[in-house]
A = this chain, B = another copy of it.
Amino acid sequence: MRAVLLAAGEGKRLRPFFDRPKPLVPLLGLALIERNILALKECGINEFVVVTGCYSAELRDYLGKGERLGVSIDYLHNPDWKLGNGVSAYTFHQDYRRDEKFVLLMSDHVFEPDLLKAFLAEAENVKQDELLLAADSRLEAVYDLDECTKVKTRNNYAVRLGKGLDDFDAVDCGLFIGTGSLLEALSSSIAGGAYALTDAVNLMAAQGMVKLHFVQNSWIDVDDHQSFKQAEKVLLKSLVPAKDGFISRTFNRRFSLRITRLLAPTAVTPNMVTILSFLTAAAAAVSFALTQPFLGGVLAQLASILDGVDGEISRLKFLRSRFGEILDSILDRYGDYLIVIGMVYSWYCATGHTTALVAGAAALTGMPMSMLFKEKFQNVLGQPFTPEIHDGIMRYFPANRDGRLFIIMLGGILNLLPAALVLLAVGTHLQTFIRLYNVRKSN
């Protein structure tokens, strides 16, 4: 399936804030249109048609033939872009292939990747004379309702659309799966002097041809500076994964998302952050060994926060790599090991107690058990281990990495390294046994 991106408009309201056309405005490290292309690429779409108008040359210069993004991009130009976005959409008839289904979207809308995934999964059910429209019926959650195109719905079909509609129960997200019938409707409505895409959709709605897909994730029509900021918020929020532990969810992400926001526009890669997180953990270990527990504790927590940033940047900028994922989990283990060894060294040098060695061995062996268990669980049960679901009440027990490093931070800043080590030693193994018991019970 090909995707058609409408990028012909002038985008006046955002112009004062950026020195470039709206589709090229950078949002968290990616131009708006670039983000849509990469998000659709993750859904398996590799061929794109960009309809240009006002800033044709700038768009072509920036995106080229798509080599940089690993996709193929063709361009269609609409000299009459001022008439309305229906004329831009209709330009695609020049390139339309008989019986083809295509995705049509506004290049300046921002969608959560999961929204696009769910929408495209419906493509195969769209019939040849239908149009599928992404609609949002969660009206209280829609951003800037006034500016939206409203939709009156009946039984998952659109009855009528319009910006000024009084009686409505959803809004149009600017995302469609179309067939030749949409181009025919556009042709009719343009011939009748109605130049907006909504006019053609209304024609089809009147004949019961506009099926609705109700979205469950966030999207923003980036129109002005305020909606731009809102889009930033929505995207950052979508980066928190379901598998997060309690401390990460309630504490670390407040900081990691801010760091991600700062790093997104730079060339810093997820793997660089992974290595930085590891080096920070190593610095924490050295601090503990040099009897600077407070600094060690703070650095350990910083390593924990940075451990979230690599994943956030990779999801945000579509930079996920298999190597990166594996590197991250291996270096995390080495970071854990070094920190525990630094703590034990500090305790043992200060006291000479064998207890330090025993607790150290127990903590050292306990540190990787959480990951071991989770990875094995996923391979055996075919679903990721999610502490929020699978750990029950134990999810508040800090034995996932976020929790372990939190204990280490507390041990460091309160100068209670022995207590922290004993807690780690007991907690990690205890958690493993409880998880084993839970699997036994439920399988």
Interface, chain A (partner B; CB < 8 A):
321-323, 325-327, 329-330, 333-334, 337, 341, 357, 360-361, 364-365, 368-369, 371-373, 375-381, 432, 436, 439-440, 443
Tell me how far the C-beta of A86 lies from the nearest C-beta in chain B, rounded to whole angstroms: 43
Residue in chain B with minimal CB distance to A429: B334
By a CB distance below 8 angstroms, the chain B residues around A357 are: 357
Residue in chain B with minimal CB distance to A438: B323
Tell me how far the C-beta of A274 lies from the nearest C-beta in chain B, rounded to whole angstroms: 12
A328 to B239, CA, bound (A): 35
A375 to B333, CA, bound (A): 14
By a CB distance below 8 angstroms, the chain B residues around A375 are: 372, 375-376, 378-379
By a CB distance below 8 angstroms, the chain B residues around A364 are: 361, 364-365
Choice from B321, B330, B371, B376 contacting A326 with Cβ under 8 Å: B376
- Judge whether B325 and A380 touch: CB under 8 Å: yes
By a CB distance below 8 angstroms, the chain B residues around A326 are: 373, 376-377, 380, 436, 439
Pairs A–B under 8 Å by Cβ, sample size 17: A322-B380, A322-B439, A323-B443, A326-B439, A329-B376, A330-B372, A330-B376, A330-B436, A333-B365, A333-B369, A334-B365, A361-B364, A365-B368, A368-B369, A368-B372, A371-B372, A379-B379
Knowing that A322-B439, A329-B376, A330-B373 are A-B contacts, what are 19 other residue pairs whose CB atoms are under 8 Å apart, sorted by A's residue number? A322-B380, A323-B436, A323-B439, A323-B443, A325-B376, A326-B373, A326-B380, A326-B436, A326-B439, A329-B372, A330-B432, A333-B372, A337-B365, A361-B364, A368-B372, A372-B372, A375-B378, A378-B379, A379-B379
A373 to B321, CA, bound (A): 16
By a CB distance below 8 angstroms, the chain B residues around A376 are: 325-326, 329-330, 371, 375
Residue in chain B with minimal CB distance to A325: B380
Residue in chain B with minimal CB distance to A336: B365
| Residue from A334, A368, A376 whose CB has the most chain B CB atoms within 10 Å | A376
- Judge whether B365 and A323 touch: CB under 8 Å: no
Tell me how far the C-beta of A288 lies from the nearest C-beta in chain B, rounded to whole angstroms: 14
Tell me how far the C-beta of A96 lies from the nearest C-beta in chain B, rounded to whole angstroms: 36
Tell me how far the C-beta of A345 lies from the nearest C-beta in chain B, rounded to whole angstroms: 10
By a CB distance below 8 angstroms, the chain B residues around A380 are: 322, 325-326
A379 to B360, CA, bound (A): 30
Tell me how far the C-beta of A400 lies from the nearest C-beta in chain B, rounded to whole angstroms: 15
| Residue from A329, A369, A379 whose CB has the most chain B CB atoms within 10 Å | A379
Choice from B323, B360, B373, B377 contacting A440 with Cβ under 8 Å: B323
By a CB distance below 8 angstroms, the chain B residues around A372 are: 329-330, 333, 368, 371-372, 375
By a CB distance below 8 angstroms, the chain B residues around A361 are: 337, 341, 360, 364
Residue in chain B with minimal CB distance to A338: B365
Tell me how far the C-beta of A418 lies from the nearest C-beta in chain B, rounded to whole angstroms: 17
By a CB distance below 8 angstroms, the chain B residues around A325 are: 376, 380
By a CB distance below 8 angstroms, the chain B residues around A329 are: 372, 376
Closest 9 A/B residue pairs (Cβ) = A375-B375, A337-B365, A322-B443, A368-B368, A325-B380, A323-B440, A322-B380, A323-B443, A329-B376
A326 to B385, CA, bound (A): 13
A271 to B379, CA, bound (A): 19
- Judge whether B330 and A369 touch: CB under 8 Å: yes
